[in-house]
Amino acid sequence: MDFSQSNQRSNKKIVMEASTYLRPSWDEYFLGLMEEVGKRATCDRGRSGCIVVRGKQIVCTGYVGSPPGFPHCDDEGHLLKQVVEEDGSSRMHCMRTIHAEQNAICQAAKHGISWKDAPSSARWNPAGYARC
């Protein structure tokens, strides 16, 4: 077998291996990135991320955390407040941090980026995702 024949066999093997690869859809791609963004969160009560996308381009990102210059829950602990819901139920809410969506909006504003026509996706609980 000469080099040409060996190279052809090698190329066939590469093509066969490549054909089994499943490229993620745009939604899968952005949701995967959103998971990574959420790993930057600084409050363990709601580690989540948000990605704002326009035309398949990332406009900005945000994650749960304290505003710039303020202490983080991971460093200082939680600043909890009891919140009473409309139905009378109550829960404890961490007041030290802002939501991932709020952070993304602030990042866009800080850098003069328009939010117009840019839907966002945010992981809001362990059970699933929400489109904002």
- The whole-chain average pLDDT of the chain stands at 82
Instruction: Determine the Cα–Cα distance for residues 95 and 79; give it in Å rounded to an integer.
Output: 5
Instruction: Determine the Cα–Cα distance for residues 113 and 22; give it in Å rounded to an integer.
Output: 33
Catalogue all structural domains in the chain, each as residue range(s) with its CATH number: 24-68+97-131 (3.40.140.10)
Instruction: Determine the Cα–Cα distance for residues 58 and 52; give it in Å rounded to an integer.
Output: 6
Measure the CA angle with vertex 35, ends 31 and 39; round to 5°.
160
Q: Using pLDDT thresholds of 50, 70 and 90, give the confidence band for residue 128.
A: very low
Active site residue 76: no
CA end-to-end distance (rounded Å), the chain: 60
The CA dihedral of 72, 77, 82, 86, to the nearest 10 degrees, is 40
Catalytic residue among 28, 36, 76, 101: 101
Model confidence over 32-81: pLDDT tens digits? 999 999 999 999 988 899 998 888 888 889 999 999 899 999 999 999 99
pLDDT score at 124? 44
Instruction: Determine the Cα–Cα distance for residues 76 and 109; give it in Å rounded to an integer.
Output: 28
97: left (phi over 0), alpha (psi -120 to 50) or beta: beta
Instruction: Determine the Cα–Cα distance for residues 124 and 25; give it in Å rounded to an integer.
Output: 21
